[in-house]
């Protein structure tokens, strides 16, 4: 954490009590006002930190707007495959990239997993690209950069929806994590940033704007600082928070870190 982050945490002071809304029965859908998306997902993230992100990924294919790819061939010996690893998957295979991927920073690669087919988002420079395809060998992809091939595809115009959903879930999960201890200065900082982002979401246009993207990036930074602090050891040498809660929120932090880069504000005519 940089020095400014330490100062911000030290000076935060005591905040108001965190909100405890009842978790909704279902995830909101694109087209729902962004502040309502945030509030609903915040409640889900607080109630079920581990399951909330998995539910979102299962229901929505958030990586659909990214340049895609197809397996280079149908040979079962070479079909792209991802094996589970701690906190993600290890991905190998060969694909044919779409033409739109030529100048793209990120690409979405389908691959088989134990229970079907998932989509893994990687930086294009992480693989070897040639005239005959795009190859990866044993690349670790964290859970936060994984999407569901069977989920409802989101559009480029749905980027603010994905930001609001991920940010709300991350804030709810982080609040749950902080509630396990007495780190009041962190809770106050998180609460202030939560209120600031919620205010932007209430007034943002339906398609979002660059100022909302900047606010989401700032919120992501604060959430990461909270999680980083909770991974530190206390005076007794033990972690400040249960490892299970830290691990449950990791995919949210991973996605939110790159959310506005992966899914930038939609331009006119984008799908």
**What are the backbone angles phi and psi of residue 154, rounded to the nearest 5°?**
-85, 155
The rounded distance, in Å, linking the Cα atoms of 160 and 49 is: 21
The rounded distance, in Å, linking the Cα atoms of 28 and 141 is: 27
Cβ within 8 Å of residue 127, ≥6 positions away? 134, 135, 136, 139
Q: What pLDDT score was predicted for residue 211?
A: 84
* Distances in whole angstroms, Cα of residue 137 to Cα of each of 97, 123, 149: 16, 14, 21
Contact by Cβ (8 Å): 176, 209:
no
Q: Where would I find the beta strands (DSSP E) of 103-167?
A: 106-113, 116-123, 128-130, 133-142, 146-148, 152-153
Q: What pLDDT score was predicted for residue 265?
A: 76
- Count of helices and strands (H, E) across the chain: 7, 10
Write out the chain's pLDDT in tens, 271 residues: 333 333 232 233 323 334 445 555 578 999 999 999 999 999 998 888 778 888 999 999 999 999 989 998 877 677 899 999 998 999 999 999 888 887 889 999 999 998 788 999 999 999 988 766 899 999 999 999 999 988 999 999 999 999 999 999 999 988 887 775 555 677 888 899 999 999 999 887 665 567 889 999 999 998 888 877 766 544 444 444 556 667 777 888 899 999 999 998 765 333 3
**Which residue, among 172, 151, 193, has the nearest Cα to 52 in the 3D structure?**
172
Q: What pLDDT score was predicted for residue 146?
A: 95
The rounded distance, in Å, linking the Cα atoms of 215 and 210 is: 9
**Which residue, among 75, 64, 58, has the nearest Cα to 116 in the 3D structure?**
58
Q: What pLDDT score was predicted for residue 12?
A: 31
**Which residue, among 10, 21, 12, has the nearest Cα to 176 in the 3D structure?**
21
Q: What pLDDT score was predicted for residue 256?
A: 92
The rounded distance, in Å, linking the Cα atoms of 162 and 174 is: 18
């Amino acid at each position: 954490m940089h020095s400014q982050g330490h100062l911000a945490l030290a000076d935060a002071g005591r905040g108001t009590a965190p909100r405890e809304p009842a978790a909704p029965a279902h995830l909101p859908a694109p087209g729902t006002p962004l502040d309502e998306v945030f509030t609903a997902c915040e409640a889900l993230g607080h109630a079920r930190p581990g399951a909330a992100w998995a539910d979102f990924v299962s229901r929505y294919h958030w990586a659909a707007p990214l340049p895609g790819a197809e397996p280079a061939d149908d040979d079962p010996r070479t079909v792209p495959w991802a094996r589970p690893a701690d906190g993600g998957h290890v991905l190998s295979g060969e694909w044919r990239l779409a033409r739109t991927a030529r100048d793209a920073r990120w690409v979405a690669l389908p691959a088989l997993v134990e229970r079907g087919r998932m989509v893994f988002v990687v930086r294009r420079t992480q693989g070897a690209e040639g005239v005959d395809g795009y190859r990866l060998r044993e690349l670790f992809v964290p859970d936060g950069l994984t999407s569901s091939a069977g989920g409802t595809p989101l559009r480029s115009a749905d980027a603010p929806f994905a930001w609001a959903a991920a940010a709300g879930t991350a804030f709810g999960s982080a609040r749950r994590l902080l509630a396990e201890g007495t780190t009041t200065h962190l809770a106050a900082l998180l609460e202030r940033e939560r209120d600031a982002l919620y205010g932007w979401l209430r007034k943002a246009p339906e398609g979002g704007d660059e100022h909302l993207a900047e606010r989401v990036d700032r919120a992501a930074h604060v959430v990461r600082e909270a999680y980083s602090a909770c991974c530190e050891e206390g005076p007794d040498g033990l972690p400040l928070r249960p490892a299970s809660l830290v691990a449950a929120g990791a995919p949210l932090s991973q996605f939110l870190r790159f959310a506005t880069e992966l899914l930038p504000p939609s331009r006119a005519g984008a799908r």
